[in-house]
Chain A
């Protein structure tokens, strides 16, 4: 726990919320905690305070969580956005990127709330049918946290394995390579035992697995009840697949129905993540849902206002579990507002190729 009493009180309040079942949106509580956290971070994080002041948004002038200025995710590449003294830093997660690329960093003084915020969503949206006290067979297409200590995704998978995984669960990426032999052996063992597998990993690791299976001419039929959780995009990779194509290929090669494949929308800069609703609400439309201590806004980039339901806008997220950095984030991802939840459309690269100019991030690409 933080030595700062204001921070300790905020952490305790959010921690209590992460432990509640059933989930309750609780607008009043969210509003109160968001404004308290904003005032706290305004006082502790100097760059954020100046950013807010430049926009005329100080704690005295902000009356609703919707008015809290959101920090662009790109700023995490430029600045250490800490709401605690640098001397108390305990952990840094970094965004993926090449050696020459600037990487975003989330600085943390404690992992207690961070981990408490990520686990309930995995439980609800990826393992909703896991009985209390039971353990799941997890095969993870990502490096273990020991191998990638600054990867928030590896950390998430490490926590998930610790909390929900059985003895035969494990990581299947080592030294940057998918360990196809051990993975296939593990998956083949699950078949005769009839143990459903939760296959989790980055979208690109799934592509590697699918390519490896195709090269062997192999197709698996994982036991009923198996599922997949994939996350991330294909930026900088040699091969890209649409989400639909990826899910179709997973269904074809692994026998996991597309309706049991969950895409996670998360980012290093946030403690909480959002997941497809398909396992939690199989009869409803596929949409992204998140925990009640978060809020998502879809903003018109021209006006900064919320778009109407059904409209497309930039995804902005408030996450009360981000007590140690800043709670409001502005992404450059596009999403569509739905009656409940939202749909991620991504960054739609190349949508505007009306000219022959090239954007600087492309021209600097290795």
Chain B
């Protein structure tokens, strides 16, 4: 699509948005809520269409996509949208308020999507629409499916709402077309830190830029989660968190920090997690990966095996160990300290020991700016304090193992709100 095509799409969206804002805000929210309710039903034609098309387009295995969609969309309900609107904006009425606080929408919002995981894409498109801001969407190279399908679903439910979504195919190296896209009044973008920085440089005030960068997640397990039934539950949950979307999501844990004074605790977690990932592989096979990614895994594995071999076998001190599938489907490396190491992703997890919570926090601190979610278990009454410390560190979500991949619709990704950053506020004091 040329820059002129993008500019034309932006104008069409602007016109449709004007008409949409002539309607009560509640009607747009209701239509959007209906579409979300339809999509979250695993039996719906929309979720089925997504589940059928995504494996080919994205490389994820069909089983993984089905499970990921079912869990990921479970919280994406119409009611959840209304609650979100109430919590962040003060309800749909605040969008039409003639006095007090009025939440306005930007005349146009450009949405630049990244990655192949559909839930963030879905929410990035729905959020401006909930405020009645029409969107011009540049789909991700890796997911050409979600945005057009959502546009179709919206158009079926509410033609005007459908007209407020323009999907544009823009090559990432087409600077003129990107510039045309960035002429929108608000630009919401997801992507690498470099991509976010490059795009934000194109959007000067009063136009608004909202960027969501790349993040990573971890697990922190306390002593109670390192043995017996609780260990089994924790590693089973973590294996699910790792397996879904092949550990490529920002809510995918890349490392597990085992807080315990007992040296063998990390060994047990690593062994249990390896067994759980092997079971996960049989249910939700890892998808296809590029040779470069497989090479990173093979290289990181061999490097860990070399460190494991280098340790003198005295059995007295903990040693690096590697549990892995044939091929590169999954890997667990039991480390001997907290130092973060390269994470090749694609189901590659490192298990780090930490003598106490402070040590685990100190290990995470160098990368805290990129921290998203933390799966937390095994601290009994101290859990709330540990969660608060993780929040202070920068985590935007703390939950139980197994729940990372099903965040609530209202999760404040990147410590931001969902709707709040996209709204224009006016205080009417008359």
List chain A positions with a Cβ less than 8 A from chain B.
46-47, 50-51, 53-55, 70-75, 78-79, 301-304, 312-314, 330-334, 347-348, 350-364
Contacts and interface: CB of A to CB of B under 8 A. Distances in A.
A301 B293 CA distance: 9
Interface of B: 58-59, 114-117, 120, 142, 190, 192-193, 212-217, 245-250, 252, 254-255, 289-300, 302-303, 305-310, 313, 327-328, 340-346, 366-367, 369-370
Given A50-B309, A355-B247, 20 more contacts: A50-B310, A54-B305, A74-B302, A78-B307, A79-B307, A79-B310, A301-B298, A302-B298, A302-B327, A330-B298, A332-B296, A347-B296, A350-B192, A354-B59, A355-B116, A356-B248, A357-B215, A358-B192, A358-B214, A364-B367
Contacts of A364: 340, 366-367
A51 B59 CA distance: 34
B310 A356 contact: no
A334 B291 contact: yes
A322 B340 CA distance: 31
Contacts of B309: 47, 50-51, 53-54
Given A354-B59, A354-B142, A360-B342, A334 B292 contact: yes
Given A47-B306, A301-B295, A348-B292, A355 B327 contact: no
Cβ-closest 9 pairs across A and B: A355-B248, A47-B310, A74-B303, A332-B299, A301-B294, A358-B214, A360-B343, A50-B309, A51-B309
Contacts of B254: 357, 360
A55 B302 CA distance: 11
A43 B300 CA distance: 25
Given A353-B114, A363-B370, A78 B306 contact: yes
A357 B249 contact: yes
Contact of A51 (B306, B327, B366): B306
A356 B295 contact: no
B289 A352 contact: yes
Contacts of B343: 359-361
Contacts of A352: 248, 289-290, 292-293, 345-346
A312 B299 CA distance: 15
A358 B248 contact: no
B300 A356 contact: no
B290 A358 contact: no
Nearest to A53: B309
Contacts of A74: 299-300, 302-303, 306
20 contacts: A47-B306, A54-B308, A54-B309, A73-B299, A74-B299, A78-B307, A302-B294, A303-B327, A330-B298, A354-B117, A355-B249, A356-B215, A358-B214, A358-B250, A359-B344, A360-B216, A360-B343, A361-B343, A363-B340, A363-B367
Given A352-B289, A363-B216, A314 B306 contact: no
A218 to B, nearest CB: 28
A72 B299 contact: yes
A21 to B, nearest CB: 36
B235 to A, nearest CB: 20
B307 A351 contact: no
A235 B190 CA distance: 23
B305 A361 contact: no
A358 B300 contact: no
A50 B291 CA distance: 28
Among A70, A330, A362: residue with most chain B CB under 10 A: A362
Given A356-B212, A358-B370, A364-B340, A334 B305 contact: no
A314 B298 contact: yes
Nearest to B299: A332
A361 B310 contact: no
Contacts of B302: 70-72, 74-75, 330
Nearest to A75: B306
